[in-house]
Amino acid sequence: MRRLLLSLLVAAALVPGAAIADPVKGGTIDVATIGEPPTLDPMANTGDLLGMITQHVYETLFTFDAEWRLQPLLAEAMPAISDDGRTYDIKIRPGVTFHDGEKLTAADVVASLQRWMKLASRGKQAAPMIESVAATGDLAVQIKLKQAYAPLLSLLAFNNSAAVIMPKAHMDDPLTDVVGTGPYKLAERKPDQYILLTRFDAYAARTEQPSRYAGKRTAYLDEIRFIPVPNANTRIEGAVSGQYDFSDLLPVESYDKLTGNTEPVILKSFGYPIMMLNTKQGPLAKLELRQAVQAALSESDMMLAAFGKPEFFTVDGAMYPEGFPWRSDAGVDTYDLGDPEKAQALMEKAGYAGEPIRILTSQQYEFHYKMALVAAEYLKAAGFKVDLQVSDWATLTQRRNDPALWDIFFTHSPFLPEPALNLGMSESGPGWWSTERRRTAFDAFNAASDPAQRAKLYGDVQAAIMEEVPFIKVGDFNALSAKSPKLKGYDPSPWPSFWNTWMEK
């Protein structure tokens, strides 16, 4: 499974022959984020911003290493799985302490997974396949499935709509107490000002070598302060002036400005922007109108407007780029058409009567906003009436949960190792894609255990996506952030993490 998943590089080169200082404890870093998360409950929202922050506080049973291989985190080891693939026996790592001083037990794990299946979109995705979750000892849990389900461990490991482990006594809905097992704990939250995390001195780290999200996590920093900075230009200027030690997701045209007190960080083949379509309610619940939207768009123009420099994007309709086992060309002939006549024919077939297509976007992700502007013009040219609604990201992530409030919203995702993790794959998540075509393709894919067979079956999943248009992949892009030259140990990743990092004196 060693393959080209993510090519990572820090754009500023180290001075040849320079010694790398040993890690040191102490200090505070200021991290400029694209905005304020709507909640600090990792189960209640699918926003990447939320996962980026809360992964320092909460932990999952399993996680991913630098090559996207599954590894244990709060679990002592990978589970024992029965020959029929239906029973998972999981041992819990002993000696793990919550931030409130209580020891982690199997009862906490069972209660957390039950909450996840009830509340989180990823948990709801897995729940129909799960027969039971039960403690089989103080530090042992057994999950029984109704049938073999290959994505289970990836869903348990993912930090988006995450299966984090909480104390049984602190899992109200909505969440009132933020208590996890991570290397940092919540010290203070001042809405629209900062979220302050401080080192958890009783943290029980793993002993394996660090590898992205897996292995040993060491809290060298005293504090991490996440500061919402919705304006991209402010994040850039704050990075250049040295005000921020890390500035997340910057416009690619700022690359040449990142000198002096900061340096650019490029995450190559980061992921893809995506237009989610509301298949449950409103005009786009009609298949022909979704297909009309797809036919009307020029994704190449959208990508050019969003990223400008060709070296920062690729126009590609396949759900995965070259190098992934899931790469398929099934259905890509519907991509990047920019064909108003075809769109109009589909609109007429659907009986489109001029209902406004409500598009949600946010300027906090500037590339979302630029793509939305271009998409709106192409849809208007095809004859759609467009209502472009611009809000802050936290508001957008709340509104997208209500199918009565939108028809399209813009978001993005990294390329993920398990297709079941991708946006739009859950019938219970925003978009609510639930059809017989989807179930037939996905049930066969998820039931298969052989990697080669699953890779072949994924072509049918992609064909169903292209045919039924629950979402539209716009293209592939590289992500640009910036960090202080004094911030050491940072490993570029889709959800920036700051354990194992330190500030050079």
Per-residue pLDDT tens over the stretch 403-433: 999 999 999 998 988 898 888 888 888 999 9
Round to whole Å and give the CA distance between 243 and 223: 16
Q: Does residue 5 surpass a pLDDT of 50?
A: no
Does the CA dihedral 484-486-492-494 come out positive or negative?
negative
Burial of residue 330, with CB atoms counted within 10 A of its CB: 0-12 exposed, 13-18 middle, 19 or more buried: middle
Q: Give the pLDDT band (50/70/90) at residue 459.
A: very high
Task: Tell me the per-residue pLDDT of 353-402, one tens digit each, with 9 for 90 and over.
Answer: 999 999 999 999 999 999 999 999 999 999 999 999 999 998 999 999 99
Percent of the chain beyond pLDDT 70?
96
Q: Does residue 65 surpass a pLDDT of 80?
A: yes
Round to whole Å and give the CA distance between 246 and 244: 5
Burial of residue 342, with CB atoms counted within 10 A of its CB: 0-12 exposed, 13-18 middle, 19 or more buried: middle
Round to whole Å and give the CA distance between 421 and 290: 23
Supply the DSSP string of 431-451, one letter for each residue: T----HHHHHHHHHHHH---H
Round to whole Å and give the CA distance between 192 and 36: 6
Round to whole Å and give the CA distance between 220 and 222: 7
Q: Does residue 4 surpass a pLDDT of 90?
A: no
pLDDT of residue 154: 93
15-47: string of b/e by CB count within 10 Å (b at 16+)?
eeeeeeeeeeeebebbbbbbbbbbbbbbbbbbb
Task: Tell me the per-residue pLDDT of 86-113, one tens digit each, with 9 for 90 and over.
Answer: 999 999 999 999 999 999 999 999 999 9
pLDDT of residue 458: 94
Q: Residues of CATH 3.40.190.10 domain(s) within the chain?
A: 28-226+485-503
Q: Does 28-226+485-503 carry CATH code 3.40.190.10?
A: yes
| Residue 218 DSSP label | -
| Residue 119 DSSP label | H
Round to whole Å and give the CA distance between 452 and 485: 43
pLDDT of residue 45: 86
Percent of the chain beyond pLDDT 90?
81
Token reading at 335 = 């991509």
Round to whole Å and give the CA distance between 261 and 486: 9
Q: Residues of CATH 3.10.105.10 domain(s) within the chain?
A: 269-478
Instruction: Write the CATH number of the domain with boundaries 269-478.
Output: 3.10.105.10
Q: Does residue 12 surpass a pLDDT of 70?
A: no
Q: Give the pLDDT band (50/70/90) at residue 20.
A: low
pLDDT of residue 22: 87
Token reading at 258 = 């990142």
pLDDT of residue 187: 98
